[in-house]
Amino acid sequence: MFSPNHDMKPIRVRMVHCLVYEYQLYRHVTIMEPHRATPDEMKIFHDEDYIDMLRRAKPEHMNCNLDALSYYNIGDDCPLFDGIFEYCQITTGGSIAGAQSLNSGEYDIAINWAGGMHHAKWYKASGFCFVNDIVLAILQLLKKHQRVLYVDIDCHHGDGVEEAFYTTDRVMTISFHKFGNFFPGTGNYDSIGYGKGLHYAVNFPLHEGITDLSYMIVFRGVVSKAVERFRPNAIVMQCGADSLAMDRLGCFNLTVAGHGELVKYIRSFNLPLLLVGGGGYTLSNVGRCWTYETAVAAGVEISNELPICEHYSLYAPTYTLHAPPTNMEDKNTRSHLETISARIYDSLRYVCAPSAPLKD
């Protein structure tokens, strides 16, 4: 796995699973063990040579073939580690299986908190992400559904997913994120798609410190207008927890309750919904957030008092599910939020729901 000093810590997913179990949320959901994504499944989107490199790569190769590794953006942020390909198979397989379960009509919501690797590009790794499980899941959904809406609430721009669907009108991507001197540096309001995809990419650049109320106001406005114009048949939501207050790499001021309200709003459309993880670098935040959003997805109320669980000490000193926001300054003025919203509404006026023949 990633080294102990790396910001990405996959143990966070185990923390979620432990809380889900202790809250007995497993009684309200169906737990599935998905298949491991195959190389051929990954190559539906990703470059063949890139996937083959991930299959063969080992940590000891980090000092060899530096030019090739640099080409694939393998390095400090996206390092080689023992079991890297198996890790990609597991995280990706969950999202593909989730999409397939929605396509079958047997389930209306699927969750893969290990997924959400929205930065990975078709030929290279990026931003702690190696294989873009979201793109592969959306491609699965497009086999059954005419139009898929993608909504991203990670603190970082969902650049890899946007780039994959930038020229199509069958997928609309919406990303709310920190913009400016902040990774990956893309996602300004004027990035709206190209060709057939013109106006089908939506970006809401935000400043530091946005609060639950301000976020929800712009989120509801943009998403409701997008759903009205695009009329999606299914939704994929990336629930990056780095938009929470006190995230190690984030800079927003959302609470777990506020973050969950965004998921609750998306759920209210009653469309097939795939929820995936994403960023989140304060472990206790991630455990709380995705456990709460599992409850939201299941329509279950859970106690604010955390049950005794593995890693319980990490939830000190409050040992509660919810916490108030910090007192950080909100640099998102009303004028800024209204101006960006107006520009997005104007772009969405040109959107119409396409009709395309479905292909196997």
Domains of the chain: 30-348 (3.40.800.20)
Spatial distance between the Cα atoms of 109 and 104, rounded to a whole number of angstroms: 12
pLDDT band at 65 (very low <50, low <70, confident <90, very high): confident
Model's pTM, two decimal places? Answer: 0.95
- HEC string of 23-88 equals CCHHHHCCCCCCCCCCHHHHCCCCCHHHHHHHHHCCHHHHHCCHHHHHHCCCCCCCCCCCCHHHHH
Q: What is the pLDDT of residue 360?
A: 45
pLDDT band at 6 (very low <50, low <70, confident <90, very high): confident
Q: What is the pLDDT of residue 10?
A: 81
Cα 289 to Cα 66, 203, 285, 302, 329: the distances in Å are: 38, 24, 6, 12, 22
Please indicate if the annotation marks 76 as binding a ligand.
Answer: no
CB 253 within 8 Å of CB 210: yes
Spatial distance between the Cα atoms of 51 and 182, rounded to a whole number of angstroms: 28
Spatial distance between the Cα atoms of 213 and 199, rounded to a whole number of angstroms: 27
Please indicate if the annotation marks 242 as binding a ligand.
Answer: yes
Residue 359 has pLDDT above 90, yes or no: no
Question: What is the average per-residue pLDDT within 90-109?
Answer: 98
Please indicate if the annotation marks 154 as binding a ligand.
Answer: yes
- HEC string of the chain equals CCCCCCCCCCHHHHHHHHHHHHCCHHHHCCCCCCCCCCHHHHCCCCCHHHHHHHHHCCHHHHHCCHHHHHHCCCCCCCCCCCCHHHHHHHHHHHHHHHHHHHHCCCCCEEEECCCCCCCCCCCCCECCECCCHHHHHHHHHCCCCCCEEEEECCCCCCHHHHHHCCCCCCEEEEEEEECCCCCCCCCCCCCCCCHHHCCCEEEEEECCCCCHHHHHHHHHHHHHHHHHHHCCCEEEEECCHHHECCCCCCCCCECHHHHHHHHHHHHCCCCCEEEECCCCCCHHHHHHHHHHHHHHHHCCCCCCECCCCCCHHHHCCCCECCCCCCCCCCCCCHHHHHHHHHHHHHHHCCCCCCCCCCCC
More confident residue, 359 or 64: 64
pLDDT digits (tens, 9 = 90+) for 193-231: 999 999 999 999 999 999 999 999 999 999 999 999 999
Spatial distance between the Cα atoms of 62 and 49, rounded to a whole number of angstroms: 17
Q: What is the pLDDT of residue 5?
A: 75
pLDDT band at 8 (very low <50, low <70, confident <90, very high): confident
CA neighbor of 219 nearest in space, from 230, 208, 231, 206:
206
Please indicate if the annotation marks 156 as binding a ligand.
Answer: yes
Task: Report the catalytic residues.
Answer: 119
